Structure 1
Amino acid sequence: MENTTVILALAALAQSTRLDVFRLLVGHEPAGLAAGEVARALAVPHNTMSSHLAILTRAGLIRAERQSRSIIYRADLDRFRAVTTFLLKDCCGGRPEICGPLVADLTPCCEAQGSSHA
């Protein structure tokens, strides 16, 4: 992944409404949400939401698919994973003790449903 791709993704998320949109769409995976539903859920005017959705789409963080008369938006989790991995890839500089706590903090959010903690 190139720096410019990551910068575009981070810039898209560096705005409150767009961050809220991305988080909302992640929470509605894999079905996604229609543009109007996203606008209503976040109480943002439709024309303003269209601009935010376009920026997130250009950044590759979400994708759109036409279904009948609606456009359904979904988070692109593969792109998000690639951006996150790019940021973390060399964070430890050969010293895993530096990133160990970060990885430990991320792990609980990703455990499968029903797994138990020790």
Structure 2
Amino acid sequence: MMLKRIHHVAVICSNYEISKQFYTEVLGFKIVNEVYRKERDSYKLDLAVNGLYQIELFSFPNPPARPSFPEATGLRHLAFETECVETAAATLKEHGIQVEEIRIDPITGKKFTFFQDPDGLPLEIYEV
């Protein structure tokens, strides 16, 4: 099996309009495609992340809650590269997003920090 890279990451949100605003206006991802699926009462929003990867944002009526702490079993978090963690964190804070203290990766020496999407999904910004 020859897997080449991650194609997309799917996120299910509890409030489509709030999450759409967060991912497009706060994080700055570009809308590639938006579809309302009447039979599922569900939206599917495809988002481009710097033209390289894609996030699929789904809405479903009454999705079940999931543990979202970075140390919960399952997907730990979704991380995004940035040139400057301080600048990215400041931009998030300007939008009213709580950002954890910036830390240094003890293995790579790179700066990183965590924040959450509107549903509490742990997100990371990591300096390249």
Is the TM-score greater than 0.5?
Answer: no
Q: Which has the higher helix share?
A: 1
Q: Which band: TM-score by shorter chain?
A: under 0.3
Structure with larger Rg: 1
Could you state the TM-score of these two structures normalised by the residue count of structure 1?
Answer: 0.27
Q: Which has the higher strand share?
A: 2
Could you state the TM-score of these two structures normalised by the residue count of structure 2?
Answer: 0.26
